[in-house]
Amino acid sequence: MHQSEEEHLIDMINHIAMNNLSVGDELAVAQMIEGHIRKFWPRRMKALLCDYIARDGSELHPAALLAGTRLSEKGA
């Protein structure tokens, strides 16, 4: 069950999204995810996420994609 670093990262952020859907609408969930990532993810993973969104982003849950996009825009 080999997973690349990027695949693992996509799983992780989608997992965060799925566990926090009850926070509110998509923006509210995205804000929660963004806050979580800022607080707990290392610089390297934030950068990988931003790279992936710039390149593709299709595997991300919509709220996760929005969170990642906000991170990219504000600077991870």
Partner 1 sequence: MLQHFDPNKDYGTPAVQSDIQVTLEIDGIEISVPEGTSVLRAAALANINIPKLCATDNLEAFGSCRLCTVHIEGRRGAPASCTTPAEQGMRVSTQNDKLAKLRRNIMELYISDHPLDCLTCPANGDCELQDMAGAVGLREVRYGFDGHNHLDAPKDTSNPYFTFDASKCIVCSRCVRACEEVQGTFALTIDGRGFDSKVVAGQDESFFDSDCVSCGACVQACPTATLSENAIITLGQPEHSVVTTCAYCGVGCSFRAEMKGDQLVRMVPHKGGDANHGHSCVKGRFAFGYATHKDRIKAPMIRDSIDQPWREVSWEAAMAFAADRLTSIQKEYGRESIGGITSSRCTNEETYLVQKLIRTAFGNNNTDTCARVCHSPTGYGLKQTLGESAGTQTFDSVMKSDCVLVIGANPTDAHPVFGSLMRRRLREGASLIVADPRQIDLLKTPHLGASLHLPLRPGTNVAMINALAHVVITEGLEDTDFIAQRCDASAYLRWRDFIKQSCHAPEVVEGITGVPAADIREAARTFAKVPNAAIYYGLGVTEHSQGSTMVMGIANLALVTGNIGREGVGVNPLRGQNNVQGSCDMGSFPHELPGYQHVSDPIARGRFEAVWGVTLDDEPGLRIPNMFDAAIAGQFRALYVQGEDIAQSDPNTQHVEEALRSLDCLIVQDIFLNETAKFAHVLLPGSTFLEKNGTFTNAERRINRVRKVMPPVAGKEDWQVTMALSNALGYAMHYDHPSQIMDEIAQLAPSFAGVSYDKLELQGSLQWPCNDEFPDGSPIMHETHFPTPHGKGQFAITEFVPTTERATRRFPLLLTTGRILSQYNVGAQTRRTDNQRWHQEDVLELHPHDAEERGVKEGDWLGISSRAGRTVLRALISERMQPGVVYTTFHHPGSGANVITTNNSDWATNCPEYKVTAVQVEKVSQPSEWQQGFEANHGRQQRFLLDATDSVAKDNYASK
Residues that bind partner 1 (CB under 8 A): 1-5, 8-9, 12, 15-16, 18-23, 36, 38-45
Query: Where is 18: in which H helix or E strand?
Result: helix 5-18
| 2 vs 73 by CB, closer to partner 1 | 2
Q: Tokens 């859907």 identify what position? A: 21
Answer whether 64's CB lies under 8 Å from 17's CB.
yes
| 20 vs 31 by CB, closer to partner 1 | 20
Q: Shortest distance, CB of residue 67 to partner 1, whole angstroms?
A: 14
Spell out the alpha helix ranges (H) of 23-61: 26-40, 43-55
| 21 vs 59 by CB, closer to partner 1 | 21
